[in-house]
């Protein structure tokens, strides 16, 4: 039961919105009259407040919030801040379906856009909608998480469920998803709308490659169940589709037997050529590590001392004598999963793999941790940053997919020249994946070569700073990287892409653009969904 004072405040807030928009319409009408426009030339439209008013007549299990929605006017990127007119807090899929269908049936005259919001970890305002409707996916209830064992185990979950909860829920059955993101406090619908990439992607592909079935609410308000064999066009379109064709309300995710422990290893390289060669070698093997990532270390002193709190050096004396000498270093990070009774065999396998690599011998550091601790490792850093007030700062991240044949030119220019010695704004991830493990039918676009690298510049800006850790400086640096790729004609693709014009989006999708537009026309013809990506600005029927 909603309190009466809450209803009164909502009503008063709604009235203020109506008055404000009425004034805007009146001023617009006066302007058109003064400039000689007659009524026949004015395109009719339904003001957002009228649609919101009619939405309030719907019989919903959840509710619409018209005030105190400041938290939905920001995201993890903390760069763009777009306040919505209202937020839907659905309890059921029917709430989402009814709401979108109602807006859709107002026709192309509607100007109310809709953005689904999970845990709010978008970077460039993609989960926001200025003057529109945000759907809070984390309030979605419905059938509880269901885990099925058998020859092809899977878990059936809500699109608003967090991956960390899925991990704990499936582990109770001795199972776990195959592919992860580095950070688990994200919603299923959010990561599947992009791809979901981590150090397991070289083997299992991204998360979107490990989905059996989806339930989706389209831009028409239709609730559709889809899979490889049923409504396959929508299934493939939604996976990696940036929320353009529908809202993922439920997903069936492939599982595998879960290990209990992880052998976690880090080694350093001073030459990028050896670093990349070893990475590519490891992902080419059938019997290799279960997780392979890497990162670039620029201007980091005492890196081995920092590791020693969580890792143990294989060669303590040599490690204590290691000096980086101000060099750019490259860290190869690997993990081998195992159960306690498999420790001896696991260690033999690890030693054999390491013996074939060309890392700097004194920099071999190892650790054994529980499986959950390894997968949820980033959350530990989050808690430390939150305690220091350094979590909710601008995050001008740049994520690129660079093909193998161009990665050395990229590294020489970007790591050696564009990123100077003062660069110390956050991790720089770099690791290769196998194209053959990725489903080309999905909406995600990647470089065409069989092996390509994810290069992620995960920068954090310091508010009010004017130095190299300022937002402006980092954004300029990101643009320099993009400009280099363009001028050098590198076939780079953005991951978690952000563009400001449709021409840039056409270039991004390349030969897939027409199929992308066709899917939009079919499933969201009024372009109601996910306006924060700025791909489609108007109804497809009038394009």
Instruction: Give residue 34's pLDDT band: very low, low, confident or very high (50, 70, 90).
Output: very low
Residue 74, C-beta contacts closer than 8 angstroms, at least 6 positions apart: 80, 81, 120, 128
pLDDT of 3 > 90? The answer is no
Share of the chain above pLDDT 90, in %: 77
Report, as an integer, the average pLDDT of 470-496: 96
Position 66 in a domain? no
> Do 384 and 346 share a domain, yes or no?
yes
pLDDT of 27 > 80? The answer is no
> Do 304 and 243 share a domain, yes or no?
no
Instruction: Strands of 21-168 (E only): list them.
Output: 63-65, 86-89, 114-117, 133-136, 146-148, 154-158
The one catalytic residue among 75, 293, 333, 376:
293
Identify the weakest region by mean pLDDT among 32-36, 50-54, 230-234: 32-36
Whether 246 and 529 have beta carbons less than 8 Å apart is answered as yes
Q: Strand order of the sheet with strand 428-434?
A: 312-313, 365-370, 261-269, 329-338, 291-297, 428-434, 451-457, 398-403, 493-495
> Do 345 and 268 share a domain, yes or no?
yes
Position 199 in a domain? yes
* pLDDT tens, position by position, 494-510: 999 999 899 999 999 99
The CATH number given to whatever domain includes residue 486 is: 3.40.462.10
More confident residue, 88 or 3: 88
Question: What does the pLDDT read at residue 109?
Answer: 65
Instruction: Give residue 43's pLDDT band: very low, low, confident or very high (50, 70, 90).
Output: very low
**Ramachandran region, residue 142 (left: φ > 0; alpha: ψ -120 to 50; beta: rest):** left
> Do 371 and 240 share a domain, yes or no?
no
Tell me which H or E stretch contains 337.
strand 329-338
The one catalytic residue among 61, 138, 141, 182:
182
Question: What does the pLDDT read at residue 352?
Answer: 98
> Do 252 and 279 share a domain, yes or no?
no
* CA distance from start to end of the chain: 44
What range does the domain containing 238 cover?
146-258
**Measured CA angle at 115 (ends 111, 116), to 5 deg:** 150
Instruction: Give residue 51's pLDDT band: very low, low, confident or very high (50, 70, 90).
Output: confident
Whether 80 and 125 have beta carbons less than 8 Å apart is answered as yes
Report CA dihedral (160, 164, 169, 172) to the nearest 10 degrees.
170
Whether 186 and 496 have beta carbons less than 8 Å apart is answered as no
Instruction: Give residue 477's pLDDT band: very low, low, confident or very high (50, 70, 90).
Output: very high
Position 433 in a domain? yes
> Do 226 and 171 share a domain, yes or no?
yes
Pair of tokens at residue 487: 């001028």
Question: What does the pLDDT read at residue 421?
Answer: 67
Is 121 an annotated catalytic residue?
A: yes
Question: What does the pLDDT read at residue 98?
Answer: 97
Is 293 an annotated catalytic residue?
A: yes
d(CA 163, CA 479): 32
More confident residue, 44 or 410: 410
Report, as an integer, the average pLDDT of 516-531: 96
Question: What does the pLDDT read at residue 183?
Answer: 97
Cα 116 off chain centre by: 13
> Do 273 and 390 share a domain, yes or no?
yes
Report, as an integer, the average pLDDT of 408-430: 89
Pair of tokens at residue 256: 């595998």
**Domain end (from 454, 473, 494):** 494
> Do 221 and 276 share a domain, yes or no?
no
The one catalytic residue among 10, 75, 95, 121:
121
pTM of the predicted protein model: 0.89
> Do 221 and 325 share a domain, yes or no?
no
* pLDDT tens, position by position, 359-405: 999 999 999 999 999 999 999 999 999 998 889 999 999 999 999 99
> Do 243 and 353 share a domain, yes or no?
no
* pLDDT tens, position by position, 119-148: 999 999 999 999 999 999 999 997 899 999
> Do 236 and 269 share a domain, yes or no?
no
* pLDDT tens, position by position, 263-287: 999 999 999 999 999 999 999 999 9
Position 106 in a domain? no
* pLDDT tens, position by position, 93-105: 999 999 999 999 9
How many secondary structure helices (H) and strands (E) does the chain include?
17, 19
- Give the number of domains in the chain: 2
**Domain end (from 477, 494, 511):** 494
């Amino acid at each position: 039961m909603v309190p009466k004072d809450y209803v009164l405040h909502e009503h008063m807030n709604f009235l203020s919105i109506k008055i404000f928009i009425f004034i805007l319409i009146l001023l617009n009408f006066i302007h058109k009259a003064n400039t000689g426009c007659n009524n026949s030339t004015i395109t009719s439209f339904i003001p957002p407040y009228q649609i919101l008013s009619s939405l309030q007549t719907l019989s919903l299990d959840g509710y619409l919030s018209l005030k105190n929605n400041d938290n939905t006017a920001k995201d993890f990127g903390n760069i763009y801040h777009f306040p919505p007119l209202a937020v839907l807090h659905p309890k059921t899929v029917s709430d989402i379906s009814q709401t979108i269908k109602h807006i859709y049936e107002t026709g192309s005259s509607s100007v109310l856009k809709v953005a689904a919001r999970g845990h709010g970890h978008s970077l460039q305002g993609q989960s926001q909608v200025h003057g529109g409707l945000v759907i809070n996916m984390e309030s979605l209830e419905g059938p509880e998480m269901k885990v099925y064992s058998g020859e092809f185990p899977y878990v059936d979950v809500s699109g608003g469920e967090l991956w960390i909860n899925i991990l704990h829920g499936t582990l109770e059955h001795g199972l776990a998803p195959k592919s992860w993101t580095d950070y688990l406090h994200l919603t299923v619908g959010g990561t599947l709308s992009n791809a979901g990439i981590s150090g397991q992607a070289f083997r299992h592909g991204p998360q979107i490659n490990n989905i059996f079935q989806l339930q989706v609410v389209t831009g028409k308000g239709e609730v559709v169940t889809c899979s490889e064999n049923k409504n396959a066009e929508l299934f493939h379109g939604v996976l990696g589709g940036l929320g353009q064709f529908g809202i993922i309300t439920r997903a069936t995710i492939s599982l595998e037997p879960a290990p209990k422990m992880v052998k976690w290893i880090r080694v350093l390289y001073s030459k990028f050529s050896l670093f990349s060669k070893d990475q590519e070698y490891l992902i080419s093997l059938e019997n290799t590590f279960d997780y392979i990532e890497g990162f670039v270390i620029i201007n980091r002193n005492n890196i081995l001392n920092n590791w020693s709190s969580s890792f143990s050096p294989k060669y303590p004396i040599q490690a204590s004598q290691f000096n980086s000498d101000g060099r750019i270093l490259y860290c190869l990070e690997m993990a081998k999963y195992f159960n306690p009774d498999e420790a001896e065999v696991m260690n033999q396998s690890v030693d054999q793999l390491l013996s074939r690599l060309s890392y700097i011998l004194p920099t071999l550091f190892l650790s054994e941790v529980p499986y959950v601790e390894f997968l949820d490792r980033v959350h530990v850093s989050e808690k430390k940053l939150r305690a220091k007030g350094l979590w909710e700062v601008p995050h001008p991240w740049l994520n690129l997919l660079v093909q193998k044949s161009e990665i050395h030119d990229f590294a020489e220019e970007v790591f050696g020249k564009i990123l100077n010695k003062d660069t110390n704004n956050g991790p720089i991830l770099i690791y290769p994946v196998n194209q053959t493990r990725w489903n080309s039918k999905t909406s995600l676009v990647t470089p065409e070569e069989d092996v390509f690298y994810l290069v992620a510049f995960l920068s954090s800006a310091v508010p009010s700073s004017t130095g190299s850790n300022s937002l402006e400086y980092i954004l300029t640096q990101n643009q320099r990287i993009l400009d280099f790729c363009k001028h050098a004609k590198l076939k780079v693709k953005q991951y978690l892409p952000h563009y400001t014009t449709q021409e840039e989006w056409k270039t991004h999708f390349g030969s897939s653009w027409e199929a992308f537009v066709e899917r939009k026309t079919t499933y969201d013809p009024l372009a109601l969904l996910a306006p924060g990506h700025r791909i489609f600005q108007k109804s497809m029927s009038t394009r």
